[in-house]
Every structure is written in structure tokens, then in C-alpha cells.
């Protein structure tokens, strides 16, 4: 049921979305078996989120992508406390979401595994749908100290995972 609800939130059939694999079009195999990805988003004037930075590394931690993206709407909150980004950081950003999709597709095949924290958010702003994922917010669930109901596990933040596992 949870998977179905999550799936319905992805408008993958929209014209500006990229869907990898799933038998739609056979992709060429790539040597990159696993890619870790992280996206930074800002809050726009219309209440939507816009992609402003994408970083990706391969399984050997080699940076394969680190790009700033031009927001498609006026920004009202840069979320600097989370993203570390300011308006000045985005002044020279020229890439669009479509440009980033094209760059990512150079590294992806239908066999590539994408790894990240809360990937549903990242894929939504990337307007991409990829079948093979490892989402650390779903893999690792912990009881936080002070939780009254021990059966209710919460999604851990990336910060919490790093402190408790690494």
C-alpha cells in the first residue's frame, strides 16, 4: 500500500520526466554499477521546490557530477541552514533540469543502482523515475531516544545515520 501511494506521487508519464529502464527503451549497459546522489532544493514563490544543485559519486567516491541548476521560479527561501547555499552561489548557474537529466543519463543504465537519502524527493525535483534504488531513509529505521512507542519507528535523518553508523 505504501509503495502504491508513493508511486502515485510520481507523474512519470509527464512529457518532461525521464523514465529509465522498465522495458520502455533498452539502455546501453554502463560500467557504473552504483551511483550515490544528493540534490539541494530551494522554496519557490509559488510554494514548489526547485532543484539548485546536484552531486553524484560512483561507488569509489569519485565525483561524476557536481552542478548548480538555475531555478525555474523566483526563490523565496534558499534554505541556507540545510543546503549551505545562498543567492550568490546560484548567480552563475546556467543549467536547467533537462540539462542535468541529460548529464545523469550518460552514467545511468537500467542496471545502475541509485543510492541516496529520501530519494523520492531528489527524483521528484530531477523529474526522473529509476527502478533500482537504495534509499537509506527506508533501509535504516531506529527508535530515537525518548520515543514513547517503541513499535513506531521513524525515518532517520542523514545526520543521525552518520552519527550512529559511521
Note whether residue 19 is domain-resident: yes
Predicted TM-score (pTM) of the model is 0.75
Note whether residue 144 is domain-resident: no
Domain encompassing residue 95: 2-135
The Cα-based distances of 143 to 68, 136, 146 in angstroms read 36, 15, 8
- pLDDT for 70: 93
Q: What is the pLDDT of residues 122-133, one digit of tens each?
A: 999 999 988 888
Instruction: Judge contact between 49 and 125, C-beta under 8 A.
Output: yes
Note whether residue 140 is domain-resident: no
The CATH number for 93's domain is 3.30.420.10
Note whether residue 117 is domain-resident: yes
Number of CB atoms found within 10 A of residue 97's CB: 20
Q: What is the pLDDT of residues 16-61, one digit of tens each?
A: 778 776 554 555 555 688 999 999 999 999 999 999 999 999 988 8
Q: What is the pLDDT of residues 89-121, one digit of tens each?
A: 998 899 999 999 999 999 988 889 998 888 989
Note whether residue 119 is domain-resident: yes
- Looking at the structure of the chain, the number of domains it has is 1
Using the structure block, give the residue that is written with the C-alpha cell 531516544. 145
Amino acid at each position: 500500500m505504501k509503495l502504491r501511494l508513493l508511486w502515485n506521487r510520481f507523474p512519470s508519464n509527464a512529457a518532461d520526466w525521464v523514465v529509465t529502464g522498465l522495458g520502455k527503451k533498452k539502455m546501453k549497459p554502463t560500467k557504473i554499477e552504483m551511483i550515490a546522489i544528493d540534490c539541494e532544493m530551494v522554496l519557490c514563490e509559488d510554494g514548489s521546490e526547485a532543484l539548485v544543485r546536484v552531486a553524484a559519486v560512483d561507488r569509489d567516491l569519485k565525483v561524476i557530477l557536481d552542478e548548480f541548476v538555475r531555478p525555474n521560479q523566483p526563490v523565496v527561501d534558499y534554505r541556507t541552514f540545510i543546503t549551505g547555499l545562498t543567492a550568490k552561489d546560484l548567480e552563475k548557474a546556467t543549467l536547467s533540469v533537462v540539462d542535468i537529466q541529460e548529464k545523469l543519463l550518460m552514467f545511468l543504465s537500467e542496471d545502475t543502482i541509485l543510492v541516496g537519502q529520501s530519494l523520492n524527493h531528489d527524483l521528484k525535483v530531477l523529474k526522473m523515475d529509476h527502478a533500482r534504488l537504495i534509499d537509506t531513509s527506508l533501509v535504516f529505521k531506529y527508535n530515537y531516544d525518548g520515543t514513547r512507542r517503541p513499535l513506531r519507528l521513524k525515518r532517520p535523518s542523514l545526520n543521525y545515520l552518520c552519527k550512529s553508523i559511521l
